[in-house]
Amino acid sequence: MSLYWLTQGKTLGGLRLTSEKNLLDRETALRLWTKGSAWFSGEAEVKGAIAPGQYADLTVLSDDYFKVPGEDIQQIESVLTVMGGQVVYAAAEFRRRDPGAPPPSPDWSPIKAYGGHWRKAEHRPAPATQAMALASACGGGRRCSLHGYAHHQAWASAAPVRDQNAFWGALGCSCFAF
């Protein structure tokens, strides 16, 4: 998502918060996110690049970051993650190598109850959710006329946004969390 934000200037819900002139090209964004992050954390000597003497941590992605359309950057996922020479995550054609997820930390993490990363293609709104979205002028893929967010995407997600009396739903504008 960070690379999507840096190159497209939009939130996961699609709200543009950065002007076109302030967007980064993909190579610059990737360099800042890898080498730049290593420099910022004081670890530039051991991580941030694929080079001799650097940690051999790597990720195999589901799609080519440099070739997918800009809007599809947010859908790219790791299909293989290696840290310290050990596979720590594997999916798709690498699934048989997956060691399984470690338990959520801290123990009270919402991930334990509601799952992790939001995947746009996997969430389809239920009929009641669609009716709620239409009633609030957020349906049919339209942006909310009040907030500018795509509420229908938040309501269709696995997070507890449907309950207007719960923490996420009580905020009225739940999509900031996605």
Residues 79 and 9 in one domain: yes
Beta bridge partners of 78: 61
Segment 46-84, tens digit of pLDDT: 988 888 888 878 899 999 999 999 999 999 999 999 988
* CA-closest candidate to residue 7, choices 172, 15, 18: 18
The answer to whether residue 85 sits within a structural domain is: yes
| Domain extent at residue 62 | 2-97
Is residue 150 scored above 50 in pLDDT?
Answer: yes
The answer to whether residue 103 sits within a structural domain is: no
Total count of domains within the chain = 2
Are the beta carbons of 111 and 118 closer than 8 angstroms? Answer: no
Residues 6 and 88 in one domain: yes
The answer to whether residue 104 sits within a structural domain is: no
The answer to whether residue 118 sits within a structural domain is: no
Collapsing DSSP states into helix, strand and coil, what is residue 174?
A: helix
Put simply, whether the predicted model's pTM sits higher than 0.95 gets the answer: no
Residues 85 and 51 in one domain: yes
